[in-house]
Structures are given as C-alpha cells and as structure tokens.
Amino acid sequence: MSAVVIVGAQWGDEGKGKVVDLYTERADWVIRYGGGPNAGHTLVVGDEKIVVRLLPSGILREGTRCVLGQGMVIDPAVLLSEIDELVRRGRNGIEKRLLISDRAHLILPYHITIDCLREAKAAACNALGTTKKGIGPTYEDKARRTGIRTGDLRDPVRLRERIALAIEAWAPTIVALGGEVPEIDAILKPLLELAERIVPLLSSVSLIVDKALRDGAHVVFEGAQGTLLDIDHGTYPFVTSSSAVSGGAAIGVGVGPNRIRNIIGITKAYTTRVGAGPFPTELDDADGIHLREVGAEFGSVTGRPRRTGWLDLPALRYAARVDGIDGLAITKLDVLTGMQRLRICVAYDTPAGRTDDFPIDDMEVPGRITPVYHDMNGWNETLCNARRLDSLPGKARAYLDFISEQTGIPLYLVSVGPKRDETVMLHNPLI
Ligand code: GDP
Ligand code: IMO
Ligand code: MG
C-alpha cells in the first residue's frame, strides 16, 4: 500500500498538474480531495496542453481510476464539458474510470451569481479577487447546512425541496446585492438533465478508497490551491474556502490520516499569487516582469496576470510544518535562467524581532514585517535538457541545495520545463 498526498506549498499554481501527472504513472488511483473548478492544473503531453479543473490530473493515464472526493465542490456543467472536451480530443473511457463522491457539494448557478455580485460590489476597495466560480458561496451553503449534495441528484423530489430551502436562505443576500432571485424550476430543470450523466458516476468513495488501500493499491491524493490559500492555515481572509493543506485529504476523502504514508510539497523556484492579499516578497521591477514573462505566469482559469516575487523560505518552512512535507518538488527552475542575482527570503524582521518562521498574523497590517534576503548568483545556461542533478549548472545546484538545507527537506523532484520529460526525478515514493 502506498498513499501519497501531493500538495501545493505556496499560493497555488505550483505545477501540481505536471507533478501529479508524473507520479500517477504508477498510481492505481488519483483522488482530488478539495476545492472545485477554481483549480486549473496544466498537463503537457507531447505538444498537447490540457488544463483540468475538476478532473484529477491522473486522467490521462489509462490505467488509473480517478475520483472526486467529498471535500470538493462540483459544478456539474463544468465537469461534463471537461469530460466532453477530453473525448473530443480523442481520450476515451473517461467516464468508465471516474467516480464521484455522493457527498460532494454542487455548485449551482446562484452560487456563481453571488460570488460575482460580491466581487463586483467590493471591487473598488477590498475584493478578494476570487475566480468567480461560486466556490465561497457553495462552501458557505455546506457549513450552513443548506447545501445540495451530488447524492441529492438521485431523488428529484428531495432535490426540489433542498433547492427551495437554499434559494429561500440566499434570497435576502441576492436582493441586497442587486441580483434577481432565481425560480426553482430555472435551477432544477437543467440540473435534472445534467444529473442523468452524473448519477451513474456516484459512489461511496470512502468505502472504495479504503478497500483499495487495504488491497495494496497505490493512491495519490491530489491537492488543489495551496497551503497559503487554506481556509484555516492560509493568509486569511485572502484565502479560498476549502482545506487545501495535506490534512484535507483525510477529511475530503474519508480515510484515516494514518493511511497517508508520504507527503510531497510542491514549490516553484520563486513565488506567485493570483488575486488579492499579502505577498511580502512580491516584485514590481524588471525581475518581477522576467518571472511573469519567462514563466508565462497568467492564470490557467481566469487568464489574469499572476503577481510574482522571490522564493519565501519562511513560507515554505510554514507549509512544511502544517502539511508535514516529507519531500520537495521544485518546479520552474528553468525560469530563473538569465537572472544575474537571485534573492531568497530567509527570515523576517517583525515588531517582535527577527524570525525564520512565516509571520502570518503580522501580515494584515502593511509594512509591519520586512523580508530578509540571502543573495545568490544566477546562471545563464538553459536547463530544460537536464535529467540528472549533476547535469545542472553548479549555481543552479547551489540554489536547490540552499532550499533543501534551509528547510531540512530532501528534494524528490526538480522540474525544468512544462513537459513530462523535462524533469530530474530523484525519488518516487510510489515505487
Ligand atoms: P497547478 O495549478 O499547480 O497545476 O499549476 P498551473 O497549471 O496552474 O500552472 C503551472 C504552469 O507552469 C503551467 O502552465 C505548467 O505547464 C507550467 N510548468 C510546470 N512546471 C514547469 C517547469 O518546470 N518549467 C516551466 N517553464 N513551466 C512549468
Ligand atoms: P490551483 O489548484 C491559484 C485564489 C483566487 C483568490 C482566492 C479565492 O490551480 O493552484 P476562490 O475562487 O477560490 O474563492 O478564490 O484563491 N485561488 C487560486 N489561486 N491557484 C488556484 O488553484 C486557486 N484557486 C483559488 O485567485 O485569490
Ligand atoms: Mg493552477
């Protein structure tokens, strides 16, 4: 048995799609445990680029079963169009390999309306910069106990009752935001059409995954978003609404935490963030532009330019702690090629003195903390052909060694380009 969580250690977009796709070469199951179509995980196979939003990144591996866990919020229209797009591109048997928890929550059109209206209203001052996919309102419904679960699709009478209850609960909010309260049938009818394809995929995921683990299967739990966007451990309130940390896998799938044998944390060789919120090592100079342009740092879901900055080791140490990271996958090292001086944040000056921890609670007040940088020399060599550590330039190796030493975490993988083979694979816990 081998159960591995692959989790983003930053503010998302660390390259989870590529890393999960690589590690699932030997996985029997790959399971998304949280979030929804706010995720955009890029897979590059040959010359083809596919961005998955709800489907797990193992979906291109024909021998791998894919699961959407109960911690997820699922927009059924997005899911079916994602499946249809893959079929259109010649990938068959997707639905045969896919299971959906009957306890996952459904994103319905009113959730998206509320998300968009709120963002528009807040735009002038304090919008969160959400992906406008209805994520926050759907998780609010879950916590308020007015959510609609995938399993409700099996029973149209119950479904109608649940939708009526939810619309009643949201009506004052929608009116206050200047929106129009939807009719029940306007929600129910299109949903029942989508349900015909969703219901056959529903299943008791906890039971099935538990059995697979007992039978010795290799299972990958695929994180979405990133540790610093986690509802509990992120830079609140500038976070998403789910448990993005590794522990979210146990909750979001329904397996005991002791089943998880290994946790891989992914970090870019620098830092990015989409949306609002603190980002202490952010750059607004030529180095920041280099990272955005060479790294093609534009959102996979929204196309928004990503904010860019230096690698933040206190943030990585923080992620290592809250996720329990056993091994690091460092992506996009190739993007640093051509930068003369590389800076890495190693500590913070705070009102209470210098700390090498991530001073997350001091970040709400601008200017209260200052990053302390360690400077390193850059390199000019192209990295994308490297397949072993010793074929990287010495300065790139020194950069990697510094990260590993400073965090005390071994390197499992270094990614030097978006393609599958543009990788230095050092350790695969699934073997
Ligand atoms: P995810 O949300 O964590 O799966 O990451 P995204 O797919 O949103 O963004 C990562 C982007 O970086 C995608 O466009 C990937 O194709 C690309 N990428 C992944 N690894 C590398 C790498 O090592 N080098 C370069 N240049 N691009 C990479
Ligand atoms: P992947 O899985 C990067 C960010 C949004 C916003 C905040 C809240 O591709 O790494 P939400 O729509 O979730 O209510 O938005 O979270 N965000 C992400 N940023 N990558 C993601 O997913 C994200 N999912 C949400 O930009 O700041
Ligand atoms: Mg992404």
Ligand 3 centroid vs 42 CA: distance in angstroms? 7
Q: Which long-range contacts (CB under 8 A, 24 or more apart) does 153-161 make?
A: 153/106, 153/191, 153/192, 153/195, 153/198, 153/199, 153/202, 154/102, 154/199, 154/202, 156/188, 156/192, 159/188, 159/191, 159/192, 159/195, 160/184, 160/188
- Of residues 41, 111, 218, 233, which has the active-site annotation? 41
Residue with token string 């919008």: 127
Ligand 2 centroid vs 39 CA: distance in angstroms? 6
Taking alpha carbons only, the member of 264, 229, 255, 215 closest to residue 71 is 255
pLDDT over 90 (residue 321): yes
Q: Is residue 54 a contact partner of residue 37, using CB atoms and an 8 Å limit?
A: yes
**Nearest ligand for residue 275 CA:** 2
Ligand 2 atom closest to residue 223's alpha carbon, by position in its atom list: 2
- Report whether residue 417 contacts ligand 1, using a CB cutoff of 6 Å: yes
- Structural domains of the chain, ranges and CATH numbers in brackets: 2-94+205-425 (3.40.440.10), 105-200 (1.10.300.10)
Give the phi and the psi of residue 232 in degrees, each rounded to 5. -95, -40
pLDDT tens across 24-72, in order?
Answer: 998 999 999 999 999 999 999 999 999 999 999 999 999 999 999 999 9
pLDDT over 80 (residue 419): yes
* Residues 6+ away with beta carbon under 8 Å from 228: 10, 11, 234, 235, 239, 315, 319
Ligand 3 centroid vs 182 CA: distance in angstroms? 31
Q: Examine the residue annotation and report whether 356 is marked as an active-site residue of this protein.
A: no
Reading the block at residue 179, the tokens are 């929106």
Ligand 1 centroid vs 43 CA: distance in angstroms? 8
Q: Examine the residue annotation and report whether 374 is marked as an active-site residue of this protein.
A: no
Residues with CB under 6 A from ligand 2: 8, 12-13, 38-41, 128-131, 133, 135-136, 224-226, 229, 240-241, 274-275, 300
Q: How far is CA 137 from CA 35, 68, 105, 148, in A?
A: 12, 19, 11, 12
Provide the pLDDT for residue 1: 64
pLDDT tens across 85-128, in order?
Answer: 999 999 989 999 999 999 999 999 999 999 999 999 987 567 89
**Nearest ligand for residue 137 CA:** 2
Ligand 2 atom closest to residue 274's alpha carbon, by position in its atom list: 26
Helices (H), 199-285: 205-214, 248-253
**Nearest ligand for residue 39 CA:** 2
For residues 7 and 315, what is the distance between their CA atoms, to the nearest angstrom?
A: 14
For residues 162 and 154, what is the distance between their CA atoms, to the nearest angstrom?
A: 13
Average pLDDT over residues 167-181: 97
Name the strand (E) or helix (H) holding 19.
helix 16-23
